[in-house]
Structure 1
Amino acid sequence: MSMVLEVDSIHTYYGKSHILDGVSLNIREGELVALLGRNGAGKTTTLRSIMGLTPPRQGSIKLFGKDTTGAPAHRAAAAGGGYVPEGRRIFGHLSVHENLLVSRQTQGNWNIDAVYKLFPRLHERRNSKGGRLSGGEQEMLAIARALLLNPKLLILDEPSQGLAPIIVQEVMRTVARMKSEGIAVLLVEQNVFGALELADRAYVLGEGRVVYDGTAEELRSDTARMEQLAGVAHAAHA
Structure 2
Amino acid sequence: MNKVLEVDAIHTYYGKSHILKGVSLHVGEGELVALLGRNGAGKSTTLRSIMGLTPPRQGHVRLFGQDVTGASPSRIATMGAGYVPEGRKIFGHLTVHENLLVARETKGQWTLDTVYKLFPRLHERRTSKGGRLSGGEQEMLAIARALLLNPKLLILDEPSQGLAPIIVQDVMRTVARMKSEGISVLLVEQNAFLALQLADRAYVLGEGEILYDGDAAALAADTERMEQLAGVAHAG
Tell me, yes or no, whether TM beats 0.5.
yes
Show the counterpart of 2:159: 159
In 1, the alpha carbon distance for the partners of 2:168 and 2:74 equals 29
Show the counterpart of 2:183: 183
Show the counterpart of 1:196: 196
Show the counterpart of 1:41: 41
SS across alignment from 1:77: helix
Aligned length: 236
| 1:196-224 deviation line (CA, Å, top 9, x unaligned) | 00000000000000000000011000000
In 1, the alpha carbon distance for the partners of 2:67 and 2:78 equals 13
Deviation at 1:79, TM superposition (A): 1.2
Deviation at 1:19, TM superposition (A): 0.1
Aligned AA for 1:156? L
Report which stretch shifted further, 29-38 or 98-107: 98-107
Show the counterpart of 1:3: 3
In 2, the alpha carbon distance for the partners of 1:172 and 1:128 equals 24
Q: TM-score, normalised by structure 2?
A: 0.99
Show the counterpart of 1:108: 108
In 2, the alpha carbon distance for the partners of 1:28 and 1:44 equals 20
**Percent pairwise identity:** 81
Structure 1 alignment gaps of length 5 or more: none
Deviation at 1:174, TM superposition (A): 0.1
In 1, the alpha carbon distance for the partners of 2:129 and 2:52 equals 29
Runs of 4+ in 1 over 3 A off after TM superposition: none
| 1:43-67 deviation line (CA, Å, top 9, x unaligned) | 0000000000000000000000010
Matched, 1:125 2:162: no
In 2, the alpha carbon distance for the partners of 1:147 and 1:166 equals 23
SS across alignment from 1:126: coil
Matched, 1:30 2:30: yes
In 1, the alpha carbon distance for the partners of 2:102 and 2:12 equals 31
Backbone CA RMSD of aligned residues: 0.6
Structure 2 alignment gaps of length 5 or more: none
Q: Superposition pairs for residues 13-162 of structure 1, below 5 Å?
A: 13-162=13-162
